[in-house]
Amino acid sequence: MASAPVNTLPIFYNDLLPLSSVDHIDYKVKPVEAAPFLVSQHAVPLTIDEFVPAQRFAPIIFSAGADSVPLLLMGLNEGVNIFVDDEGKLRGPAYVPAYVRRYPWMLAKLRQESDELSLCFDPTSPAVGAGEEGQPLFVDGKPSELTQGVLKFCEDFEQAAARTGQFVKDLQEMDLLMDGEVSIQTPIAEQPFVYRGFKMINEEKLRDLRGDQLRKINQNGMLPLIYAHLFSLQLMREIFEGQVGQGKGPIAVPAAPEPAEA
């Protein structure tokens, strides 16, 4: 069965196959205790449904470029994630984005001419495969309760992603996103470390919104999300200190956000 072209796959996914009651009738979901694919990922896509719980644990930023998306910043440098150990196990309390919890599953188009989405999985993941161990994906030839739950989770994720896209579009239309910059002064250097390469809400423009615009973002639920993002940026220093404590920073390598002494 044909798989998706590698260069079209989102982060974490090495391959993609549509789940089939014929080809995968004996497949099971196996228990895994770690997410090794997360070890070197410092920023993970985040939906607006997750802003409030996520902002307690890590900064929420927006990616640079025209097609900006919200990201949970799990490290300040590319290749560094302070929330997991070298095996991909959580080090302590953390928020794990739905994007991570969804893997190795996702909904994808099998034909470009159709809008229909099919439940697919990454066959390279150890969490899904044939064998004696695990929970079955099919029972009596039909999707098991587990499979139905996976499908529902993926459908909910797609809906949240659509709401997130509209949220970012509204921010851009109101010109509320600007190039971000965070300066962190530390005892290890005379000059502060300045992190750039991301976008954030422009607080000055937020304060200067017209009354009708302010009412709109208050009534449609955008305002709490905006402040969740702004409050979360104060955790930049904690992420920085976490890297230093783990012997992983700061490093003078281009990253997003990227460090440079001011």
pLDDT tens by residue, 168-222: 999 999 999 999 998 888 776 778 888 899 999 999 999 999 999 999 999 999 9
Nearest to 29 by CA among 37, 39, 15, 19: 19
Q: Is the pLDDT of residue 257 over 90?
A: no
Task: Give the separation between CA 180 and CA 30, rounded to whole angstroms.
Answer: 41
* 195 within domain boundaries: yes
Residue 153 backbone phi and psi in degrees, to 5: -60, -45
* 148 within domain boundaries: yes
* 139 within domain boundaries: yes
The amino acid sitting at 174 is M
- DSSP label of 245: H
Asked which of 64-73, 235-244, 250-259 is least confident by mean pLDDT, the reply is 250-259
* 1 within domain boundaries: no
* 91 within domain boundaries: yes
For the segment 154-167, what is each residue's pLDDT rounded down to a tens digit? 999 999 999 999 99
pTM for the model stands at 0.88
* 149 within domain boundaries: yes
Domain containing 19 equals 6-261
- Three-state DSSP class for 69? coil
Count of domains forming the chain? 1
* 59 within domain boundaries: yes
Q: How many residues does the chain have?
A: 262
Q: Is 258 exposed, middle or buried (0-12, 13-18, 19+ CB in 10 A)?
A: middle
pLDDT of residue 189: 72
Task: Give the separation between CA 86 and CA 66, rounded to whole angstroms.
Answer: 33
